[in-house]
Every structure is written in structure tokens, then in C-alpha cells.
Structure 1
């Protein structure tokens, strides 16, 4: 704020002294196209001097355009009015008002000014007052490139122009106090001193650098000579919020030490030294760099140590939200280093000390993680060990395990197979290769085998009806390509005395807000008697075959599939199962079997049962064994009494169909709509 004031007032002082030497006290008008001193340039200048009612000398000065490069002021209008006098110490005094028009942040829009020129003390003193804000400068007359500046209650927005010379951001609120020394050179400025911030905020065009309600005090240094602007800050922060790229800080009420050395040029900002010390939460040493739009170019943490849950509450919650991990409970400690650049990660290492994490939705939880990982994109790293007491992925509870890891050629991999317990069975990772630096393409590849997992326990964990049987299978290749996990091979579930085969399984954005799952599912020799007993659908006997092809779930809700269910080896079906199948298909019993006769029998023989559903959007396109008139056969009877169930609804609203199935399996009987 005051760097230009000092230069501007010096320029005005020279004009006033020249005017005072005029031969008469009559009105005097002076004009000039340009008045310039180093750092300040005035254009279309007019000065009027005249005698006021008390015998003093009145002054009016107007400049259509004032440019002060050091402050980032361009084409600022200037109006100064006041009374010039001399006191008993023969000092020149100017008391009046000054108004700048179009200055960034509205600086000095309507201020009182007092100027004192003391030749014996070799000093020019300028004092500005606007509302509660005051700014003062002391300038030696024989060294006009130097000034001592005092600022009190200065609106932070007044510094918008100065900030704009080194960065693309802008202040948004708060106040500033400062005691600064300033030197102005032909190719820039140098300034240093102490400052205090009260509720200061700032923002950047991209919104990735921002602050709000920040209180601080400390020392500041600025040097813009001959190239990029360099500045240093050594401060104590207390309260408020800061956003530095992926790092969001909700500062505590106790002091947090901050040390910064940065370079700004063309709107870009490189923080070459960043040190943070929040005693009970986070300590780090590192560097950050942002381009002119505020996007993160580099994040290098040479050392960090985080203690939880305080570190999560103050610094980690927003970052984990971007990864799809919301409302996370974290305990323990993490320490290590990180090298992240605009083209991807280049290295990381961390050590966990009794670390625990759990998401509110139950998708991810880890208990008592100890040990570490050490990876580099370029150099080979020593073997590390990492183990946990318990791990939960998508509600599946895995047992304790410890793995050995080694980084070679940019790949972090297991040094030996890893077996983990799951619901009475075992999941075995034969090999695992992770390439963190792969910006796109294949990032992770592994193979695994599942044996002996209890399906009843698995079903209960997933919130399903409890199926008997076991889950097993081999996945010769699981790959993480871009943001999708792809499984080659498949899983085979031995359930209901038959098999369910899952192939072409892929999961996109597994930890995102709306994960997408795709798969093909086949059924072989499933015992309908066991299935209908579990689902309380009504009794049906016989084997079931079929498939659910092109299955697609978004946030675990189906949006597309082609389902074909067929029981073609005959069996028995109960009256209740007949009613439920009839209602699900929106059909009825074929003519020839009267309701009175139907009530005499509890079960019926059937030759075939078939039902198909192709889901497109929210509509299920229904069909059965074969078309009959405007309907389709769902149940083809066998023997006497001869049963035939016909479906008449070819298109059913999916939520309606789900409600019918739910009512059928819960024993309430579906409702036809």
C-alpha cells in the first residue's frame, strides 16, 4: 500500500515546493502531460494553488492516470485536496484528503492525508487515515528510495495490486498490521519486517489455493528485483482455514508454526520450502508448486509425521473425500516422505505405527497396521514388511497377515505369496505387481485363489439370505487398468448343490462415490428346493439352469442385464409358488383349471419353468418359455391336474418388479399393479 504512497507523495512534494516559489499568492494553475520519478508515473496532471479564507495556500491536484508498477497499480485516477502551510519549526505541512479511483481492492478510496517535509531532519513523513485504517511512511529526503512503513488495521483487499505482481490470487477479507522497511529500485523492490493478520482470506482463479479467517503474526521478506518475485514468511498461525492444492487445513486455536520460501512469476507460484509444525497433529518439511491457474505441479514432502485423529480432522478430511473416503475414523501414526509431480508419483515411503482406519459406509477398514512400504520410480529400494491385525474390504472381514514388499524397476511387489483368512476359508495372492507411476494403462496385476469360504457366513456379511455351500475359484490375472479392476478367469460358487460361475468381472472406481460393476453370471444344476426354502418363495423342486449376462451395477444398483432362468427337467411346484410366479409375471392361470379345483391341491407337477428379463434403464422386458397369443408361458404343467401359468405383462417397471419379488420372498405375497 505505502510503497506507491511514498513515491507519490515525494512527487507531490516537489510540485508543491515549486509552486511555493511562485512570485505571487494569486491563483496558480500548472499542467503537465507526464510527471515521473522512479517507480511512479503520473499523466495528464493539473495543479491549482490559491489562497484560502484563512490566508493559507489551498491545493487541488488531479492526475487522470497514475501508474505504480511496484504496487500493481495501472491507470489509477488521483485527486488530492488540502491546505499547505509552514509551522514554527519551518516544516512544510499539507493537510487534506486523497482519493484514488480504480485502485485494486478499493485502496485509498477516500482518505485523510497529512504530509510533513522537515528539511533539517532530512525526513518526509506521510500519514493516511481512512476509517479505522492508518498508514504512515518516513522517507529520508537524501535517500528517497528507502522508507519505513507502519500499517494498522489495513484492509487486506488494499494489497490486491501488490499481490497481483507476484501471484494470480487475490485477498478477500481481513486486516493487516505491519512494520516494514522498503527499498525501491529501478528493477523492483525489497521489503522486510514484521506483520500481523486478523481474519485474513485469499483466493485463486482455480480455487485450489485459498484461505479464510486466518490469524497470524511473524516476519515477511519480499524481493522482486531483476526477475521472479521471491518472498519468505516465518509465522505463527492460529485459527482459520487454508487450502494448498490437495492439502486442506482447518487450523487449531493453538499456535502452528509455518516457514515458507517461495518464488512467483507470471501468476505461477513455487513454494521451495514449506515447513509446518502443529505439535499434536502434523509436522512436515517439503515443497509445493502451482501453475498460473493454481493447479498443482509438484508436491514433495521430504519428511512428514502425522498423529491421528487430530491430523485427519485438521488436514486430511478434504483430501480423503476426493478419494471417495468419507467420514473416516483414523487412529495411530504415520510418518514418511512423498514425491508427487505433474506427471505422477516418483516415490514414497511410509511407516505405520498402530495405524487404524475405518470408513463410515463399511467399505474399507484396517486395524493395527504396522510396518511400511518404500517405493521409487527410478531406484531400487530395500525390502519392507507391512502387516495388520484385521482388514475389511466391502464388508468382507479378512484375518491377520504380514507381507514382504520390494521396489525394483518402478514396480512394488510381493516377495513371496500371501495367504489371508476369510470366513473360514483362504484368499491366496500368488503374486502382486503395483506400478504407481503408471499414469494410464496397467497399474496393478495380481493372481489369487479363493478356497473354502463359507457361503452362509458370506451371505450374512453381505446382508443377503443365508445360502449354504462354499465359495471357491481361481483368478489367474487381476489387473488394475486406468481406474478399473479387471478379473481374468473367474470365480465358482458351490451353492445349492450346484454352481454359480462369475466371469468377465470388472469394477470401475472401486472406492469412488458411484462404483460400476460389470459381470456375466452362469447357473448350473442349482437345487430349486434349497433356493425356494431360503427365499421363502414357496416350494419348487428340480434343477435350475440359466444366466445373467451383461450385468451392470452402478453404486450397487442394477441398471442393465439379460437374465434367463430355466428349469427343464421337471419337478413339483407348490400352490404358493404358483401364485408368486403368476403375480411376478403379471399373468394368471390358463383356462381349464378352475379356481375351485386348484384349491384341492397343494402341489403340482411341471415339465418346464422359464422366465426371462432384459433390463434396459428402469424397464424390464419380460418373456418366458414361448409366446402364446399376447402372452408367454411361464410354467408348463405335467400330469393331472394340468397346470399352465401365462404371463401377460411384456414390460414391467423395474422398481415394481423388485417390490413384487421382495413381497414374495418375505411371505407377504406380491401385489399385481
Structure 2
């Protein structure tokens, strides 16, 4: 706005100078195809001067196009209709309406101007007003490149043209008060002063740099004349929201200290010195840079001190939500440093005397975290210890442990095995090497074992029906690529007198909104009597084998698998289990066995039971032991009465099948008649 006032001052000063040198007479007019003054060019210019009824001269100035490069103005129209006269002190005074057309931010679209030329004081004074906004500029007549400017209640959008000369963003709201000293140079401006802001807003083309509702004040210097545009800022902010790449800040009402040195070129922004001081939340010193697209290019934090929960609530909530960690509770203090460059992560460390964290969905929880980690891309760093009282992952709470770490040549290594209790059993991490700067898929190498986990406690924790048994197994390798975790080795559940072996595990977006789990499951010699008693399906005896291959869960709900269940060694099946199997398969009892006869027997012998489901999308493609003329055999009976159960539905909607299974377990399945 200061540059705006000074440019208009130069144009009007030129007009007044012409009038002083050659007194105007009635009907004087001037036209010019182009007129160039320092810092500005006017095209298709017309000037008409006529006597005013009240004395003095009426001055009408129009320019079809005004270009002011330092202000970022192109093709701005200008119209002035004012009264020019001398006051009792002999000063030239000009008053009247001023309109600019197509100015960035609609600046001065319906303004009034008061201009005073005081040759004795060597001063040109310009006062511009529109609504509540006011800009007052004082320019020495013998040094028109310098101006002293006072802005009151100025719409921030009026500075859009000036912002556009150093950055691709745009002003979206707010008002500015300022006292500024401004000097025009050949290729830009130099300015310094003090300011205060209210409800300030801005945005970038990519939406990655933005703010709204910012308040505050401070001092600044701005230089757009010597190389990249540079700014020095010493300020305090109060309230509002600020987005800087991945970092979203919800600022408090009390003062937050912000100081920086920044440079801008070609839309890219480099903050070479950054300091933030929020007394009860965060202290930060470092540097940050963004490329022309608004993406984070580098981040160096030489000091970061966080006080939780305030630091999380104001600065960490949105960032952690991108990793699926929402509505966290947090307590404690943490200090850290970080060196992130264009070619990746170079170093980090953190240390704490005690931090508690937990997300609302139970995906991550840690109590009594103490110590820290220290990693560098090169060289050897000091050894560190990290301990916790309890560590929870997906509602599974592990016991206390202390881990010992050492960073060397870019690899952070676990120095000793770590053991943690888990639901009556134990999790043991034998070794772990983490290389944060390595290529994707090569960043993590670990092996661990699980033993003796109580499946009854596990099932209670997961909200499943409780069943006895133990969980154990070994993970011989683990790789991380992007947000995908792939495990080699497997887990084995010793349940229901047999084994459930899980292999080929892969987990994508483990803390995201829709985590994806994939794997294969093999069933070996499970006791059907124990299974059906736990799930209240109706009694079936005998061993069960089978598999669930290509299992894929999205947000823990199955979307694909190929399951085959087979009881091939014979046994007994209850009347209720017959009814439930019939309901699941959408079939009936074969061989003319009537409901009246069926009710005479509590159990039936069987030779084989087989049921298969291949889930694709939301449809389960079902089959059994072998096909029949009108379906497939589910139960192949043995002895008298001889019982066969036939399934007739080859394709069943998955939600419908789930409802049938739930009804069977709840005892609401239809009775065979």
C-alpha cells in the first residue's frame, strides 16, 4: 500500500509541477499515448483542466492502463476527478474521488484522495481513504523515491499485487495497521517498519501454505531489489490457524513469538532462521524451506522442546491424524532435533524424562516413556536407552522393558534382545536394525518371537468369543516399504486341540483410516467339539482341517479370501448344527428325511463335512464336498438315519451370509421342517 501511495504521488506531483511551471487556463487539456515516470508507466493518458465554480481548477485525469512493476500491477485503470486550488498558506491542495480499475485485491476502487504540495516544507502529502481504510504518505519533493507511510485498517487484499511479486500465494482476508519507511530502487523496493494484523488470511495455489484469522504485530524489513526477495520479521501472533506444509497450527489467544529471516524466488520460500516461542507448548529454533509447489523441501530443527498436551493440541493434532492417530491423550515433556534435507533424512534425536501417549482407537499407547534415540546418516552416535512401563499396539498391552540402541553409518541397531510380557506370554525381539535413509523396503530388519500368549485373554481384548489355547510363533524378517509392512515367518495358534498357522502376513497403512491386512491361514486338526461349544453353533465332533488363502481385510473387514473347511474323519452332528449348516448353505436335508423324523434324534453320524467359500467383492461363491444335480453336498451322513445336507445357493451376498452365521450363533436360525 505504501508503494501504491508513492506511485500515485509521483504521477500527481508531475501534474502539479506542470501547472506550477505554466499556469493553466480554461479548457486546457493534454493527451499522451504513454507517459513514463520513475517506477510507473501510464498509457492512453488524458488530462483536462477547467475552472471550478467555487474557485480553483477542476482536474480530470484518466489512464486506460497503468503498470507499476514493483507493486505487481499490470493494466490497472485510473480515474481522478478532483479540485485543485491554493490554500491561504500558498500550498497547492487537491481533493476528490479516485478510482482504480482492475487493481489486485480491488484496491482503491472507490476512494477519495487529498493531496498537498508544500514547497516551503519540501513535502508532498497524500491521504487516501476508502470506507474505514486510510493510507497517509509523506514524500520529499526533492527525493520522490522515499516515502513515509501510515496505514490504518487497510484490507490485506490491497497488498495482493505486492505479494505477487515475491510469492504465488494470495491474500484471503484481514486488515493491517502499519508505520513504514519505503525506498524505491531500480528493480524493486526496500521497506521497514512496524505493523499489527487482525483476522489475516492467505492461501497458496496448492493449498499447502495457508492461514486464516491470524492476529498479531511486530517489526519487519523487506527488500525486493537485491536478488531474491528477502524479509526479516520479529513478531508476536495471537490466535488464528496456520498451515505450513504438513504442519497445522491452531494458535492460542496468548502471544506466540515468531521471528524469521526468509527469501523468496520463483515461488519457492526459504526460511533460513526460524524461531517460535509458545510458553506453555513449544520452543523451536531452526530453518525450513518449501519448493514452488508448496511442498516441504527441507527442515532443520536445532532445538525443539514440546510440552504435552498443549503442543499436541496446537501443533501436532493434524499431522498425527495423517498417520491415523486421532484424538490422542498426551502428557509429559520431550526435546528433539531434526535434519531433513532435499535428499532425505540426515539426522534426528529425541529425549524425554517421561511421556504418556494414547490414541482414541487403541492403536497405539505408551505409558512412562523415558530416554531417547540418537541417529545420524553417517558416523557413530552415542549409545542411548529407551524404556517404557507399558506399550500398547491395537489394544494389546505389552509389559515394561528397556531397550539399548546405537547408531553407526546410518543404521540404528538394538544392542541387546528385548523381552516384554503379553497376556500371560512373552514377546521377544532378538534383533532390530533400522536404516531411516535407506531405500524403501530395506529400512528395517528384525526378528522376534511370541510364546505362551493366553488366547482367552487375547480374544477378550479383541472383543471375540473367548476360547482357550495359546499363541506362539516367530517373525524371522520384516520389511517396510512406504506404508506397507511385510513379515516373513509366521505365527501359530495352539487352539482347540490343534493348530492355526498364519503366514505371508502384510499390513498396509497400520495406523491409517483403512488398514489392509493380508495373509494365509492353515487349519490343522482342530477339535470341532471345542469350536462349536465356544461359538454356540450346535455340537459337531471330529477333527477339522482347512485353509483360508489370499485373505484380505480392509479396516479389519474381509473383502477377499478362498476358504475350504473339511472334516473328513467322521463324527457326530447335532440337530441344531444341522439346522445351522442348512441355513448357511441355503439348502435342505436330502434323501427324503422328514422334519418329524429328524426331531426324533438329537445327533447324527456323519462321514464327511465340507464347506467352501471364495469371497470376491461382496459375493461368496460357495461349494461343498461334491456337486449334486441341484447344488452341492455339505454333510455326507453315516449310519441310520442316514443324513445328507445339500446346499443350493452357489452365490450368496456376503452381508447376508454374515447375518445367517450370527443368527445361527445366537440361536435364531430357522428350524428345518
TM-score normalised by L of structure 1:
0.98
The answer to whether 1:383 aligns with 2:354 is no
Q: What SS does the corresponding residue of 1:90 show, helix, strand or coil?
A: coil
Tell me the residue number matched to 1:186.
186
Matches within 5 A, 1:448-459: 448-459=448-459
2:521 paired residue number: 521
Q: 1:260 to 1:623 in 2, by over 3 A?
A: same
CA contact (8 A) 2:56 2:86 kept: no
Alignment partner, residue 177 of structure 2: 177
Residue 3 of structure 1 and its aligned partner are, at CA, apart by 1.2
For 2:306, the equivalent position in structure 1 comes to 306
- CA apart distance, 1:107: 0.6
Distance 1:651 1:74, change over 3 A: same
Map of 1:251-400 to 2, 5 A cutoff? 251-400=251-400
Contact 1:214-1:238 within 8 A present in 2 as well:
yes
Q: Determine helix, strand or coil for the equivalent of 2:375.
A: strand
- Aligned 8 A contact 1:624 1:632 in 2: yes
Following the alignment from structure 2 to structure 1, what is the Cα–Cα distance between the partners of residues 82 and 379? Answer: 71
| 1:533 counterpart residue number | 533
CA displacement at 1:293 relative to structure 2: 2.0
**What's the secondary structure of 1:458's corresponding residue?**
helix
- Equivalent-residue separation in structure 2 for 1:467 and 1:519 (angstroms): 22
**Cα displacement (A) at 1:20:** 4.4
User: Where do 1:596-635 residues align within 5 Å?
Assistant: 596-635=596-635
> Cα offset for 1:671?
8.4
Q: Look up the SS of the partner of 1:80 in the other structure.
A: strand
Q: C-alpha separation between the residues in 1 aligned to 2:141 and 2:432?
A: 74
Per-residue deviation, 1:110: 1.3
Give the match for residue 221 of structure 1.
221
Q: Structure 2 vs 1, CA of residues 657 and 77 (structure 1 numbering), >3 Å: closer, same or farther?
A: same
Aligned-pair distance for 1:24? 5.7
Q: What residue number does 1:435 align with?
A: 435
Gaps of 5+ in 1: none
1:636 match: 636
1:625–1:112: structure 2 CA closer, same or farther, 3 Å change rule? same
Cα deviation, 1:521-565, whole Å, max 9, x if unaligned, reads 001111111111111111111100000011111111001111100
> Are the aligned partners of 1:168 and 1:293 in contact in 2 as well (CA < 8 Å)?
no
1:140–1:146 Cα contact (<8 Å) kept: yes
C-alpha distance after superposition, 1:18-47 (max 9, x if no partner): 134446622111122222222122122111
Q: Is 1:502–2:515 an aligned residue pair?
A: no
Equivalent position SS for 1:66: strand
Structure 1 residue 226 displacement after superposition = 2.5
User: 1:439 and 1:84, CA in 2 relative to 1: closer, same or farther beyond 3 A?
Assistant: farther
SS in 2 for 1:382: coil
Residue of structure 2 in register with 1:239 after alignment: 239
Kept in 2, the 8 Å contact 1:368–1:388? The answer is yes
Post-superposition offset of 1:461: 1.0
Give the TM-score, by structure 2 length: 0.98
Q: Do the aligned partners of 1:4 and 1:70 also contact (CA within 8 Å) in 2? A: no
How many residue pairs were aligned? 672
Residues 614, 621 of structure 1: 8 Å contact kept: yes
Aligned residue in 2 for 1:136: 136
Cα distance in 2 for residues equivalent to 1:407 and 1:254: 40
3-state secondary structure, aligned to 1:381: coil
Q: In 2 relative to 1, CA 277–525 (structure 1 residues): closer, same or farther, beyond 3 Å? A: same
Gaps of 5+ in 2: none
1:74-119 CA-partner distances (Å, limit 9, x unpaired): 1111111111111121111111121111110011111110111111
- Residue 544 of structure 1 corresponds to which residue in structure 2? 544
Work out the CA distance in 2 between the residues paired with 1:132 and 1:594.
92
Contact 1:19 1:49 in 2 (8 A): no
Distance 1:24 1:203, change over 3 A: closer
| C-alpha distance in 1 between matches for 2:5 and 2:316 | 43
Alignment CA distance shift 1:644-1:67 (3 Å): same
Question: More displaced, 134-143 or 36-45?
Answer: 36-45
The answer to whether structure 1 residue 107 and structure 2 residue 90 are counterparts is no
Say if 2:211 is the partner of 1:211: yes
Equivalent-residue separation in structure 2 for 1:538 and 1:302 (angstroms): 65
Q: Secondary structure at the match of 1:477?
A: strand
Structure 1 window deviating more from structure 2 (424-433 vs 12-21): it is 12-21
Aligned equivalents of 2:5, 2:184: Cα separation in 1? 12
Contact 1:172–1:201 (CA under 8 A) maintained in structure 2: yes
CA contact (8 A) 1:344 1:438 kept: no
Bigger shift: 481-490 or 123-132? 481-490
1:360-403 deviation per Cα after TM superposition (whole angstroms, max 9, x unaligned): 11111111111101111223211111011011101111000110
- Give how far 1:463 is off: 1.1
Matched residue SS, 1:375: strand
Cα drift, residue 657 of structure 1 = 0.7
8 Å CA contact 2:441–2:479 kept in 1: the answer is no
Which residue in 2 is equivalent to 1:557? Answer: 557
Deviations 1:172-214 (Å, cap 9, x if unpaired)? 1111000010111112211101101011111111111111111
How far does residue 266 in structure 1 lie from its aligned partner after superposition?
1.3
